[in-house]
Chain A
Amino acid sequence: MDEARGWLLDVYADQVGGIILWLLTDDDKRLRLRMDFSVTFYAAGDFSLLRQAWIYLRDKDVKLERSARRDLFLGERDVLSVTTSNPSKLPKLFANLSRQFPSLDYYDADIPLSLRFIAQTNTHLLGRCRVMLDDEWVRAIEPLNSPWEIDPTPIPLRILTLSPDSNPVIRKPTQLRIRYERGEYSLPLEPTRTFMISLKADLKRFDPDLILTEYGDTWLFPQLTVWSKESGIDLNPNRDQSREILTRRADSYFAYGQVIYRGAQAHLFGRWHIDRHNAMSMGEYGLEGVMEQARVTGLGVQEMARKSPGAGITAMQMVTAIRNGVMVPVQKQQVEGTKTLIELIRADHGGLIYQPIIGLHGNVAQIDFSSMYPAIMVKHNISPETVETEDAQEGLVPKTLRPLLEKRLMLKNIVSDLDPRDCRVEILKARAAALKWLLVVCFGYLGYKNARFGKIESHEAVTAMSRELMLQAKELAEDMGFTILHMYVDCLFVQQQGFERSADFTPLMDAIADKTGIPIAMEGVFKWVAFLSSKRDARVPVPNQYFGAFDDGTIKYRGIELRRRDTTLWVRKIQLAVLEILAKANTPRQMMNYVPDVLAFVEHAKHNLKAGHIPQEELIVRQKLSRGLEGYKSPSPAARAALQLQAIGRQVAPGQSVQFLFTRGGSGVQAWELGDALDHRRLDTKRYCTLLDRAIRTVLDPCSS
C-alpha cells in the first residue's frame, strides 16, 4: 500500500458510486483518488407509511434498516434508515421518495457531501491529510492538522486568471487576458478555432488549481460551451475530464430586507472557478477569507465564494449535528411557542438602541463588546434546544460557535501584536473578517424561519441578554462619573471631563468586562464626534448616524451619504475630502475655523463639474430595481433607465442594480450601459449640485450649531 500526504482540494460524488477526492500532494502532484463512501438518510413518522416506504424502496439498490436516532427537539425517534453506496444517486432517490410519501419527516437527506465527508473523517477542505492508497483507491485517510489551527501551512495553489478586455454586457470582448504566475498575455477571441486551441493548450500546460475570472459565470464558461460546438475543438475546463461544467441558473431572491440578484454560476470539478463579479463576499475579505471559510465550514471554495455566510454557518451546524449523532431535518419543524400579548411585547425586541445627544462633542470614547451576540450564545449556552430548559448540556449552537469565536479572537490579537507593515497582517485580517461574518449571521439564523436549527425564542433570549448587559454597562459607566452620549446594540459612546487618552478609559472597560463576562474593546477616542439629527425635525436625534475624528486623525462615519451605495462617487469623494479638512480640528470649537476652507473646496468642485472636468464614471448613480418593470406605477429614475435598456433588448431583473446619469430633458436619465457617450453639457448639473449640497449640509450643520 502507498502513502501520500498533501492538501485536500475537492470532494464530490462519483457517478459510478463512492466519491472522488483531489489531493494536492507535497511533491506538487494533483491526484484524483476514489473512495468507497456510503451515505444514509432517515424517514420518520406514521408506522404504516414507513412500512409502505420500505416496500417502495426494497428494489432500489439501497440498504434499509430500522433504528432509533436523535431529533434535536423531539429526542429519540424510530426511523427508517436508507443507505446507498452511490451518493450521486441520493438526491433523486430522496426526491422520488418524498414525492410518494410527503407526510413523512425526513432527515439528513440534503446534507452536502463534503460535510458528510469531513464529519466522518475529521479532515477538512484545504486541510492537510495522509492517505493510504491501493492504486487510485483510498483505503484510509487521516487529518494532519485541524481547521482551528491559527497558522496553517499555506496551500501552494496554481492560479490562472482570465479576463476579457471589456464588460461583455456593454461591449463584445475581442481579447482574453491570460495571467499565470509572472506571465501575462492577451489572446484574440477570433478566429474561434485558434483561440480554443490556444486556451486548451494553456489549460493543459498550466494545469491551474484555481481559475479566477471576470465574468466567467455569466459569459466565459457558457460561451466556451458554445464555441466548443462551433469550432469542433472539445475544450473541457474541468480537471476531472469525465465531468462537465456544473451550471446553476441566475435567480433573484429576497433576503436581509432587500431583493438580491445572483447571476448564473459555473462550477468545475477537480479545480475551482471563482468569478470575481459573481462572488458575494470576495470584496469584503478576498480569496484568503473565502478559503478560511471553506476550511472551517466544510463547504467548497466555489460554494463559499458565491453564497452568503448564512450557508456557511448552517453547514457548520450540520457538521456539529452529525458528529453528535443528531439528525438534520430537511424542513424546519420548530414553530413559535404560544405567547400572551404581554409576553410577546416583552420578548419581541431587538438590541438596545439609544437616541444620541445631538451635536458636537469632544473627547468621546467608543467602546464595543467584541462579537457580542455570539459571545452571549456561548457564555449563556443559548441554543434552540436549550432555551427553555435549565442546566442543559452545551447546546448545538454554542458548540459550533465556541471554536470559531476563539479562533477569531486569537487572529485579532495576533494582528494587533504585529507591526502594521508586516506582510502577514493583510492575510490575517482577511481571515478574521471572514470568520466575523460567519459569527455575525449566526445570530440571525437562530430566529430565521428557514434555518435548520432555529427557534425564535432562542433569538429573543440573545437580544434580551444583550439589552441587560448594555444596561449594566451604562450603570457602571454612570457610577464612575461618565456621561453616556450614545448606545447602539453593542457599543457605547462615553465622555467625562478630563478623560482624553485611551488609557483613561481602561478602568471602565475592565469593570464592564468583569461584570458582564463579555470581552470589550476600545474602538478609539474621538477628538470630536457629531451625532446627527433627523432631516425632518432638527430636534429628533437619529441613532447610528455620526461622523468624527479619532485622536490619531482617522475619520469614522456611519449612516451619512458616504456610506450609501446609491451616492455617486463624485459626492462621496467630496464629502470625504471635506471630512478630512474638518479632521484637522482638534476640538469641537476649532471646527468653525475650517468652514471657510470647506466652502471654497465645494465651490471649486462645482465649478469643475460645470466645466465638464469630472469623469462621467464618477457621476453614475446606482439604484436597485426593487420590482419588475411592469410593477411601477410611476417609474423611478432606475426604472426609466432599465426601460431604456429593455428597449435595446437587455433585461434587468429585480434586485439587479441599474446605473445611470442624470440628464437634462427627456426622461431625465441615461442608462450607463447604453454605452453612448454623453456630451457633458447634457448632464443635469443642477441635480448633481443639489445632491452635493445635501451631503455637505450633513457634515457642516453640526459645526455651526
Chain B
Amino acid sequence: MGRTVVTITQQLNETESMLSPFRRTLRRNDQYVFDGLFAAARRHIAAIGQAESLLPFESAMLAMLLEQSKEIAVLQQKLEELMAKNG
C-alpha cells in the first residue's frame, strides 16, 4: 500500500511471466523443475529485499543457488550415512 517501488514479490512475478516463452518451450518435466527454482527464490523474499539491489534477480538467482547447495548438502549427508551403514 502506498509504495512507490514495486515489491520483490511483484518483481519476481514479472520476471517469471517475462520468461514464460522460455518456460513454455521446456519439456513438461523440466517445467516442474523450473518452477521449483522460482519457489526456491520465493523462500528468500525477505533477504532479496534486504539486499537493496537495483537488479533483484541477481539476488534471486543467489537464493536459487543457496537452496540447491542446501539440498546437495542434505543429500551428501544422507549418502555418507548410508555408506557408513553399509560399511
- A468 CB to nearest B CB, Å: 10
Q: For the complex, what is the distance from the CA of A620 to the CA of B46, rounded to whole Å?
A: 39
- Consensus secondary structure, chain A interface: loop
Report the minimal beta-carbon distance from A498 to chain B, rounded to whole angstroms. 22
In the complex, per-residue mask of B35-65: 1 if CB is within 8 Å of any chain A CB, else 0 = 1101110111110011011100000000000
* Residue of B2, B35, B44, B53 ringed by the most chain A CB atoms within 10 A: B2
Q: Within B1-56, which residues are at the interface with A (CB < 8 Å)? A: 1-5, 7, 35-36, 38-40, 42-46, 49-50, 52-54
Task: Enumerate chain B residues within 8 angstroms of A423, measured Cβ to Cβ.
Answer: none
B5 touches A355 (CB 8 A): no
Q: A residues within 8 A CB of B2?
A: 447-449
Per-position 1/0 for A546-588, Cβ under 8 A of B? 0000000000000000000000000000000000000000000
Query: Is there contact, CB below 8 Å, between A345 and B44?
Result: no
Contact A353 B54, CB 8 Å, known A257-B1, A539-B36, A539-B39: no
Nearest A residue (CB) for B5: A348
Query: Does chain B have a CB within 8 A of A535?
Result: no
**Contact among A341, A447, A487, A541 for B43, CB-based, below 8 A:** A541
Q: What's the minimum C-beta distance from B7 to chain A, rounded to whole angstroms?
A: 8
CB-CB under 8 A from B39, the residues of chain A are 537, 539-540
Q: Which residue of A lies closest to B56 (CB)?
A: A345
User: Would A467 and B50 count as touching, CB distance under 8 A?
Assistant: yes
Instruction: Pick the contact of A346: B4, B44, B45, B52 (CB < 8 A).
Output: B52
Residues in A whose Cβ lies below 8 Å from that of B1: 256-257
Bound Cα distance A272, B42 (Å)? 52
Chain A residues near B49 (CB-CB < 8 A): 349
Q: Report the separation of the CA atoms of residues A487 and B45 in the bound assembly, to the nearest whole angstrom.
A: 12
Docked complex Cα distance between A447 and B53 (Å): 24
A354 to B44 Cα, complex, angstroms: 7
The residue from B4, B35, B44, B54 contacting A537, defined by CB atoms under 8 A apart: B35
Quick one: closest A residue to B40, CB to CB?
A: A539
B27 CB, min distance to chain A CBs, angstroms: 18
Q: How far is the CA of A350 from the CA of B5 in the complex (A)?
A: 11
Chain A residues within 8 Å of B5, by CB: 344-345, 348
Q: How many residues of A contact B (CB 8 A)?
A: 24
With contact pairs A537-B39, A540-B39 given, residues A345 and B54 touching in the complex (Cβ less than 8 Å): yes
Chain B residues within 8 Å of A348, by CB: 3-5
Count contacts between A and B, CB distance < 8 Å. 46
Residues of B within 8 A of A485 (CB): none
Residue ID in chain B nearest A350 by CB atoms: B3
B20 to chain A, nearest CB (A): 15
CB pair B43 A355 closer than 8 Å: yes
Contact of A540 among B7, B42, B50, B52 (CB under 8 A): B42
Which residues from chain B contact A354 at a C-beta distance below 8 Å?
46
Q: Are A355 and B45 in contact (CB under 8 A)?
A: yes
Q: Quick one: closest A residue to B4, CB to CB?
A: A348
- In the complex formed, the residue of A with least CB distance to B50 is A467
A349-B49, A355-B42, A355-B45 given; A341·B36 CB < 8 A: no
Q: How far is B53's CA from A344's CA once the two chains are assembled, in angstroms?
A: 11
Chain B residues contacting A346 (CB-CB under 8 Å) are: 52
Docked Cα-Cα span, A342 to B54, in Å, equals 7
A352 at the interface (CB under 8 A from B): yes
Considering the chains assembled together, what is the distance between the CA atoms of A537 and B16 in angstroms? Answer: 14
Chain B nearest CB from A421 CB (Å) reads: 41
Smallest Cβ-Cβ distance to B3: which chain A residue: A348
Residues of A within 8 A of B50 (CB): 352, 467, 471
B36 x A352 contact (CB < 8 A): no
- Interface code A329-358, partner B: CB below 8 Å = 1, 0 otherwise? 000000000000110111011101111000
> How far is A345 from B48 in the complex, measured between Cα atoms in Å?
12
B53 / chain A contacts, CB cutoff of 8 Å: 345
Task: List chain B residues, Cβ under 8 A from A350.
Answer: 3, 7
Contact A353 B46 (CB under 8 A): yes
Residues on A with C-beta less than 8 A from B38 are 540
- Within the complex, what minimum Cβ distance (angstroms) separates B44 from chain A? 7
Q: Which residue of A lies closest to B47 (CB)?
A: A354
Residue of A355, A449, A541 ringed by the most chain B CB atoms within 10 A: A355
User: B52 touching A342 by the CB < 8 A rule?
Assistant: yes
A448 to B4, CA, bound (A): 13
Q: CB-CB < 8 A to B42: which residues of A?
A: 355, 540-541
Contact residues in B for A541 (Cβ distance below 8 Å) = 42-43
CB-based nearest B residue for A541? B43
* Chain A residues within 8 Å of B7, by CB: 350
How many Å lie between the Cα of A256 and that of B1 in the bound state? 8
Closest partner residue, chain A, to B8 (CB atom): A349
The interface residues of chain B lying within 8 Å CB-to-CB of A349 are: 49
Expressed in whole angstroms, the Cα–Cα distance for A344 and B46 within the complex equals: 17
User: Which residues of chain B come closer than 8 Å to A256, judged between CB atoms?
Assistant: 1
Bound together, the chains give a CA A471 to CA B50 distance in angstroms of 11
Contact B36 A353 (CB under 8 A): no
Please name all residues of chain B whose beta carbon is closer than 8 Å to the beta carbon of A467 when the two chains form the complex: 50
Given contact pairs A344-B5, A348-B4, A537-B35, A353 touches B45 in the complex (Cβ within 8 A): yes
How close is B64's CB to chain A, nearest CB, in angstroms? 12
* Most chain B CB inside 10 Å of its own CB: which residue of A342, A344, A353, A448: A353
B2's nearest neighbour on chain A, judged by CB, is A447
Specify the chain A residue showing the minimal Cβ separation from B67. Answer: A539
Docked Cα-Cα span, A487 to B46, in Å, equals 10
Interface digits, A511-543 against B, CB 8 Å rule (1 contact, 0 not)?
Answer: 000000000000000000000000001011100
Q: A355 touching B44 by the CB < 8 A rule?
A: yes
Q: Which of B42, B44, B54 has the most CB of A within 10 A?
A: B42
Nearest chain B CB to A234 CB, angstrom units: 49
Contact in complex: A355, B46 (CB < 8 Å): yes
In the complex formed, the residue of A with least CB distance to B43 is: A355
- Provide the residues of chain A in CB contact with B36, threshold 8 Å: 539
Give Cα A354 to B8, complex, Å: 12
Q: Mark A51-71, 1 if CB is under 8 A from B, else 0.
A: 000000000000000000000
Give complex CA distance A341, B46 in Å: 20
Closest 9 CB pairs of A and B: A539-B39, A348-B5, A540-B39, A346-B52, A355-B43, A354-B46, A540-B42, A348-B4, A257-B1
User: Which residues of A come within 8 Å of B, CB atoms?
Assistant: 256-257, 341-342, 344-346, 348-350, 352-355, 447-449, 467, 471, 487, 537, 539-541
Give the A-binding residues of B (Cβ under 8 A). 1-5, 7, 35-36, 38-40, 42-46, 49-50, 52-54
Show 7 residue pairs from A and B whose CB-CB distance is below 8 angstroms, ordered by the A residue: A257-B1, A352-B50, A353-B45, A355-B43, A355-B44, A537-B39, A541-B42
Given contacts A540-B42, A540-B43, 12 further A-B contacts (CB under 8 A): A257-B1, A342-B52, A342-B54, A348-B5, A352-B50, A353-B45, A355-B42, A355-B44, A447-B2, A471-B50, A539-B36, A541-B42
